């Protein structure tokens, strides 16, 4: 991470998170965001999505934006165009251990493969209960909540998953200490971080195998492309963006990010719906 100045003449590669960065949680997007991404590419820069989601779980509004590639599943996969250049499956013994932990502690969970998300029984009702007990405060929040629940209906049941293809898990628990306990009890073979799912009380988190994250994937992508980390820019808002911030030359936190995350960034832009991505690219001289 560096606060060095940006020269517009240098070709850059921009890694952009989706939820909380391109999209407000739900499906709201600033009209300026796809325009800014297109302008950066027209100026010769590369743009890669960089998300914790599976490729098949990316919102259609985002999939419609032309980009040069994508890092998905929190760093487990990456593509350049249609070419897969990074792939890290979670070893089956780790998958089995992770599932056993969830079952033992009564946590609801999602298992991610490259293209699909599989959910344990009870996840959908968990989400619906949240909507019932936490009514949206305005039309925007109502639309976001409705879309979040609708997306869950497209996930596949857990009994259909190929456990040898799993790369990541997300969990939800009514217990407030599940995140800390998961990190302690699962041990150093796993990377456990706070999640950003707005569901009832308790805790939620994301789990990958240790050494697989957005930062490691960016390093691998840069090696394939023959580019330097100094020429990489990362824009994000969540705790799964920390490693991205650590490896890129310039890190940008969204205006709605946690203050601790903002403190790690070289630049803080405005919020998602306040033209945050466009303002960041403008300030960096890329458009």
pLDDT in tens, 248-273: 999 999 999 999 999 999 999 999 99
4 pLDDT band (50/70/90 cuts)? very low
Residue 7 pLDDT > 60? no
Higher pLDDT residue, 32 or 171?
Answer: 32
Helical H segments across 155-213, by residue range = 178-186
Residue with tokens 């911030």: 245
The three-point CA angle 108-113-118 to 5° equals: 35
> Is 45 within 8 Å of 13 (Cβ atoms)?
yes
Q: Where exactly are the structural domains of the chain?
A: 13-88+212-283, 92-209
DSSP β-ladder status, 46-50 and 69-72? parallel
- Enter the CATH code of domain 13-88+212-283: 3.40.50.1000
How far apart, in whole angstroms, are the C-alpha atoms of residue 93 and residue 198?
30
Q: What is the DSSP string of 240-265?
A: GGHHHHHHSSEEEE-TTS-HHHHHHS
- pLDDT tens-digit map of 193-244: 887 665 545 567 899 999 999 999 999 999 999 999 999 999 999 999 999 9
Work out the mean pLDDT of the chain and round it to a whole number: 88
As given in the structure block, the two tokens for residue 259 are 């203050």
Instruction: Identify the CATH class of 92-209.
Output: alpha beta
pTM for this predicted structure = 0.89
Name every residue whose Cβ is closer than 8 Å to that of residue 165 and which is 6 or more positions away in sequence: 89, 113, 114
């Amino acid at each position: 991470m560096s606060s060095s100045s940006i020269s517009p003449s240098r070709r850059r590669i921009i890694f952009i998170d989706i939820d909380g960065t391109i999209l407000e949680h739900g499906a709201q997007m600033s009209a300026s965001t796809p325009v800014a991404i297109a302008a950066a590419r027209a100026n010769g820069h590369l743009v890669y999505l960089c998300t914790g989601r599976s490729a098949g779980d990316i919102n259609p509004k985002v999939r419609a934006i032309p980009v040069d590639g994508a890092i998905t599943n929190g760093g487990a996969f990456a593509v350049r165009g249609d070419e897969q250049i990074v792939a890290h499956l979670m070893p089956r013994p780790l998958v089995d251990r992770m599932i056993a932990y969830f079952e033992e502690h009564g946590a609801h969970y999602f298992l991610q493969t490259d293209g699909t998300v599989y959910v344990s029984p009870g996840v959908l009702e968990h989400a619906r209960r949240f909507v019932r007990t936490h009514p949206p405060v305005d039309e925007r929040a109502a639309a976001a909540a409705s879309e979040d629940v609708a997306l869950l209906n497209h996930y596949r049941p857990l009994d259909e998953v190929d456990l040898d293809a799993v790369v990541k898990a997300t969990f939800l628990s009514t217990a407030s200490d599940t995140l800390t306990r998961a990190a302690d009890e699962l041990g150093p073979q796993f990377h456990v971080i706070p999640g950003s799912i707005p569901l009832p009380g308790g805790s939620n988190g994301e789990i990958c195998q240790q050494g697989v994250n957005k930062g490691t994937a960016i390093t691998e992508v840069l090696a394939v492309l023959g580019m330097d980390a100094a020429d990489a820019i990362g824009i994000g808002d969540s705790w799964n963006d920390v490693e991205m911030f650590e490896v890129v030359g310039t890190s940008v936190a969204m205006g709605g990010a946690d203050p601790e995350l903002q403190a790690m960034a070289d630049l803080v832009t405005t919020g998602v719906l306040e033209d945050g991505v466009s303002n960041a690219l403008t300030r960096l001289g890329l458009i």
